[in-house]
Amino acid sequence: MDLAVVQGAVLPQLSLGGLGRKSAAAGAGAGAGPARAFTLDEVPLARIEFGEVTWISRHGVRVVYEGEADFDAAWRPRTARLRRPETSPPADLTLVRQGRDDRWEVRSRIGGGTADGELQLHTSDQGGLRLTGQLQPRNIEAASALQAFNRSAIIAGKASGETLLSASGDTADELVRSLHTTTSFSMGRSTLLGFDLDKAIRSLGQAHAGQTPLDSVTGQIDTQNTPQGMVVTINRLQARSGAFSASGKARIADRRIQAELAVDLVDGVVGVPLTLSGPLEKVQVSVPASALAGAAAGTAVLPGIGTAIGARIGAAIGKLFGSEPEPAARPRPAPGHK
């Protein structure tokens, strides 16, 4: 076939669970007739064009795409382009195959910045597939990038970094389901949206509505596709402003967050850890009772420094005796992921 055109299709993510899977018993019944032999052309489809194709995520978020792809043999895309129509700044992805190798140059624009790099597809002697790649995100405005896909942002500011990605499986479907990325990132001046960290500390977690200006943010973000959706893990998180410094880690899955932060304020309220938990739409903020007791004792002995030492000792004692929440269970790896 030379050309296929798809217009106005709707693809609910939850309806694609069995895509590409085969039943081991299919066609094997006693009454089944002889299989009809057929072979595909070397290039079964030369080109596909699609427009107004709506992807509906497992949580009901609708995103419209358009694009086109030209294929070489074995369904290898020679060139491919994916776009978010009527999005400003532009959001698009372009793949260009490098000769006859299973290697593609990646060029993408998102959030006013770029994320260019390379993808490689490796095939084992047994037919298994492994995808690897590297991208270099540069000057991407985080809030704008998420808004391009109808997602709410928790931080605004330009980010740059390095991304490694990998996936494995026997089919393209399994590659998508097992996709894992690791991004080391840094941001300059930025704003934490919907959360006033200073207010949360001073109110001991009772109030936190507002925003938090930041001078710098660094960390590592890991994403892992699973049968239950994407799991996002943030490690080595460091944030600084003129009023405080903070460090911590977080895990987001099924639109719920579990995070631990240790925050030092420059004017003396220091060292008290924060725990964030619950649905992303209604995050609960708390300070462990053990840390509060330790901070009070430390302040009685030596204000400022004593608060920091006492809070951290109190938090450590709380962990030792189980007064803090257990971390969420790690997701099972997706089928085909190694």
Element spanning 300, H or E: helix 289-301
- The radius of gyration computed from the CA coordinates of the chain, to the nearest angstrom, equals 25
Q: Is residue 178 part of a domain?
A: no
| pLDDT at 322 > cutoff 60 | no
Q: What domain count does the chain have?
A: 4
- Note the pLDDT of residue 17: 63
- pLDDT of the residue at 25: 42
pLDDT band at residue 296 under the 50/70/90 scheme: very low
Residue with more model confidence, 86 or 27:
86
What residue type is assigned to position 73 of the chain? A
Q: Residue 23: which region, alpha, beta or left (left: phi > 0; alpha: psi -120 to 50)? A: beta
Residues 269 and 197 in one domain: yes
Q: Is the confidence at residue 213, as pLDDT, over 60? A: yes
Reported as a single tens digit per residue, the pLDDT across 127-138 is: 899 999 999 999
Kindly state the average pLDDT of the residues 158-168: 97
Q: CA-CA distance, 281 to 336, in Å (whole number)? A: 33
My answer on whether 112 and 200 are in the same domain is no
Say if residue 194 is in the same domain as residue 156. Answer: no
33 or 166, which is more confident: 166
Decide if 203 is inside a domain: yes
108 and 136 belong to one structural domain: yes
Q: What is the mean pLDDT of residues 305-310?
A: 44
Last residue of a domain, one of 53, 84, 115: 84
Between CA 55 and CA 11 the distance in angstroms is 5
Residue 34 in tokens: 């002889």
The answer to whether residues 94 and 64 belong to one domain is no
Average pLDDT over residues 139-147: 95
The answer on 106 and 154 residing in a single domain is yes
In the chain, the percentage of residues whose pLDDT exceeds 90 is 54
Closest CA to 181 of 124, 112, 132: 132
Across 15-41, average pLDDT = 52
**Same structural domain for residues 117 and 148?**
yes
CA distance 73 to 169: 20
More confident residue, 198 or 175: 175
Higher pLDDT, 18 or 338: 18
Residue 142 has pLDDT above 60, yes or no: yes
Give the residue-averaged pLDDT of 172-187. 93
- What is residue 315's predicted lDDT score, i.e. its pLDDT? 44
Q: Which of 51, 84, 117 represents a domain boundary (last residue)?
A: 84
Q: What separation, in Å, do the N-terminal and C-terminal C-alpha atoms of the chain show?
A: 35
> Amino acid identity, residue 261?
L
Residue 337 counted as domain residue:
no
Q: Does 332 reside within a domain?
A: no
- Whether residues 225 and 269 share a domain: the answer is yes
Which residues fall within 8 angstroms of residue 184, CB to CB, at 6 or more apart? 161, 162, 219, 220
Is residue 10's pLDDT more than 70?
yes
Closest C-alpha to 58, from 222, 251, 227: 227
Are 98 and 156 found together in one domain? yes
Tell me, what's the pLDDT at 321? Answer: 42
Would residue 226 count as lying in a domain?
A: yes
Backbone phi and psi for residue 299, each to the nearest 5 degrees, phi listed first: -65, -35
Distance of CA 27 to the CA centre of its chain: 40
Instruction: Phi first, then psi: give them for residue 292, nearest 5 degrees.
Output: -60, -45
Residues 103 and 116 in one domain: yes
Helix (H, G, I), strand (E, B) or coil at 228: coil
Q: Give the neighbor-by-neighbor strand order of the sheet with 212-214.
A: 155-156, 190-192, 212-214
Which residue(s) pair with 233 in the sheet?
222, 251
Residue at which a domain ends, from 84, 112, 140 = 84
Higher pLDDT, 301 or 212: 212
pLDDT in tens, 75-124: 899 999 999 999 999 999 999 999 999 999 999 999 999 999 999 999 98
330 lies in a domain?
no
Q: Is there a domain that residue 334 lies in?
A: no
Looking at the structure, tell me whether residues 79 and 142 fall in a common domain.
no
CA atoms within 13 Å, Cβ hemisphere of 205:
19
What is the pLDDT averaged over residues 16-33?
A: 50
Q: Give the range of the structural domain holding residue 126, as residue numbers without chain letter.
A: 87-169
**pLDDT exceeds 60 at position 150:** yes
d(CA 251, CA 222): 9
- The more confidently predicted of residues 178 and 16 is 178
Q: Are residues 217 and 281 in the same domain?
A: yes
CA distances from 70 to 37, 46, 47, 94 (A): 27, 6, 4, 12
Tens digit of pLDDT for each residue in 233-292?
A: 999 999 999 888 899 999 999 889 999 988 887 766 566 788 899 998 888 888 665 555
Q: Is residue 183 part of a domain?
A: no
